[in-house]
């Protein structure tokens, strides 16, 4: 394995972080370890004073500024955790700090920055949207820009996490799982570990909808994503850093991707073992360790997963709880067609056996058949296929909707909403960044061009507002409707052919 830039080991060993940061514990997660058959140790960066590892890199950069630079102040762009690290560092060093944050940043992070005396500027929907504005402020004021990841001193500060891991766990170690946004933590940990323990695999973990490092390593050059998912707002970065990419190209074994359900399940895993609640990006590494173990059929190995942050808005917990069961494959959703006759429901329930029904939605719509929407507690996904086969053998056709986004987010709340006289209905699913006034803005842009025949919106306390809309659009308006959708500017999906829609609403 090629060595990193010669001075990174030295930089990490000389990093100044403990004026404000603490050496965090490395704790075994016994329940999770037992379930996946491998020892999983959690590096508890969620217990830092700002509830995130970001304090390490921010302070290591700022403590090395000259008195004149500190006098002019600092500015940064951040999705939240780096912002709190800069704010605390500025408070400790007695300098001004201006923090540019996405408008979608959870309030708990914004409040955490403001409480430490920093000036907060909210703009855009992701880190990349804030970066240019922060650079402009730095140029106009002479303040020093403190990069959240693409700076050698920041990378070295984050690398002190690896220094602690090897000191706390001198025994054999198979892999370290690290969340990836811009790549500062991944690069810093890799630079230290690969110099001293090159046998340990370094595995980065990204969300499926914010996979800039994954694509960049795959293509051999830095990729800029057109947009990123912001459920895991701490890693919502459209392009990784130049220096972090250079280091990761040489030192990282692999980057793997996990989805939102997997992150939610990992949050639950950590809660069950520690009674602590991680934020989505803080649980990325745990979700990655689970996926890696399952994919490779690994048993008896030893992993470290960095629990990188715990700045979670309380109102997001509802969404996390709903999705965690799906991510753990402990709940399934099926649509079953049964005869519309007395006793049919009883017969169906008898076929479910001892399974617990978590949800049941039904409304009379036809005098021959009934479509019912059922949630079931399961132990493994294989149970679903077996049950569907069993139902089919008894003349009850069923469809597995567990992975159907429209079914999970909307249809389960709308079952029974058929409209017999609606014509030319098109069903579309929209997403927009969730913030105050976002829904009204969406409705205003929809205007009154076509009749809305169905509308469902629910505030999930998540990263996006999700809207399901039925719009009556005659074929003669196809071109005008396509132009409208393009102008609207929100991500959308045409769900008119969705099986859940056809069964319950069409």
290, 308, 408, 453: the active-site residue: 308
Number of residues in the chain = 506
What values do phi and psi take at 354, rounded to 5?
Answer: -90, 5
> 3-class SS at 162?
helix
Q: Map tokens 């009204």 to a residue.
A: 440
**337-361: b (≥16 Cβ within 10 Å) or e:** bbeeeeeeeeebeeeeeebeeeeeb
> 3-class SS at 465?
strand
39, 43, 54, 109: the active-site residue: 54
- 308 as an active site residue: the answer is yes
Alpha-carbon distance of 490 to 478, in angstroms, equals 18
Q: Bridge-partner residues for 428, per DSSP?
A: 469, 494
- 350 as an active site residue: the answer is no
> 3-class SS at 63?
coil
- Helix pair 284-296, 260-274: axis angle to 10 deg: 100
Closest residue by Cα to residue 85 from 125, 143, 45, 139: 45
Report how far apart the first and last C-alpha atoms of the chain are (Å, whole number).
58
> 3-class SS at 358?
strand
Q: Map tokens 């719009």 to a residue.
A: 471
CB 281 within 8 A of CB 181: yes
> 3-class SS at 88?
helix
- Helix pair 81-93, 54-62: axis angle to 10 deg: 40
94 alpha carbon, distance to own chain's centre: 34
Give catalytic residues, as residue numbers: 54, 308
């Amino acid at each position: 394995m090629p060595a990193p830039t010669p001075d990174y080991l030295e930089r990490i060993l000389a990093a100044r972080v403990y004026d404000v940061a603490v050496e965090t514990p490395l704790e075994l997660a016994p329940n999770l370890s037992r379930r996946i058959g491998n020892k999983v140790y959690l590096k508890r960066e969620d217990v830092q004073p700002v509830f995130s590892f970001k304090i390490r890199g921010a302070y290591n950069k700022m403590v090395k500024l000259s008195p004149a630079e500190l006098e002019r102040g600092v500015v940064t762009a951040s999705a939240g955790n780096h912002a709190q690290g800069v704010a605390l560092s500025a408070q400790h060093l007695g300098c001004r700090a201006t923090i540019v944050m996405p408008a979608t940043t959870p309030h708990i992070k914004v409040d955490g920055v403001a409480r430490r005396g920093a000036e907060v500027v909210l703009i855009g929907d992701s880190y990349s949207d804030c970066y240019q504005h922060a650079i402009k402020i730095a140029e106009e004021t002479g303040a020093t820009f403190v990069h959240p990841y693409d700076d050698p001193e920041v990378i070295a500060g984050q690398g002190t996490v690896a220094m602690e891991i090897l000191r706390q766990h001198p025994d054999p170690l198979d892999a370290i799982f690290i969340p990836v946004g811009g790549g500062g933590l991944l690069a810093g940990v890799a630079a230290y570990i690969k110099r001293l323990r090159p046998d340990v695999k370094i595995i980065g973990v990204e969300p499926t909808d914010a996979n800039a490092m994954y694509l960049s390593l795959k293509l051999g050059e830095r990729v800029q994503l057109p947009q990123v998912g912001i459920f895991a707002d701490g890693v919502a970065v459209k392009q990784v850093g130049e220096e972090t990419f250079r280091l990761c190209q040489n030192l990282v074994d692999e980057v793997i991707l996990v989805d939102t359900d997997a992150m939610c399940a990992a949050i639950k895993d950590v809660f069950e073992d520690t009674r602590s609640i991680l934020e989505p990006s803080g649980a990325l590494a745990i979700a990655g360790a689970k996926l890696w173990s399952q994919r490779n059929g690994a048993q008896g190995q030893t992993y470290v997963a960095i629990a990188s942050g715990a700045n979670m808005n309380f109102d997001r917990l509802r969404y996390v709880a709903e999705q965690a069961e799906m991510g753990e494959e402990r709940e399934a959703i099926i649509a079953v067609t049964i005869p519309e006759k007395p006793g049919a429901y009883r017969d169906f329930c008898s076929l479910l056996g001892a399974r617990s029904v978590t949800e049941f939605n039904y409304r009379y719509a036809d005098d021959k058949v009934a479509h019912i929407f059922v949630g079931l507690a399961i132990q493994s996904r294989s149970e679903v296929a077996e049950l569907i086969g069993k139902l089919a053998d008894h003349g009850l056709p069923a469809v597995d909707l567990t992975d159907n986004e429209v079914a999970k987010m909307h249809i389960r709340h709308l079952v029974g909403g058929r409209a017999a006289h609606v014509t030319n209905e098109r069903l579309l699913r929209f997403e927009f960044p969730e913030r105050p006034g976002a829904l009204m803005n969406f409705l205003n842009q929809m205007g009154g061009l076509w009749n809305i025949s169905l509308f469902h919106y629910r505030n999930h306390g998540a990263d996006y507002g999700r809207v399901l809309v039925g719009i009556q659009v005659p074929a003669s308006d196809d071109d005008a409707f396509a132009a409208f959708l393009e102008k609207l500017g929100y991500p959308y999906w045409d769900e008119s052919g969705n099986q859940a829609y056809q069964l319950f609403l069409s």
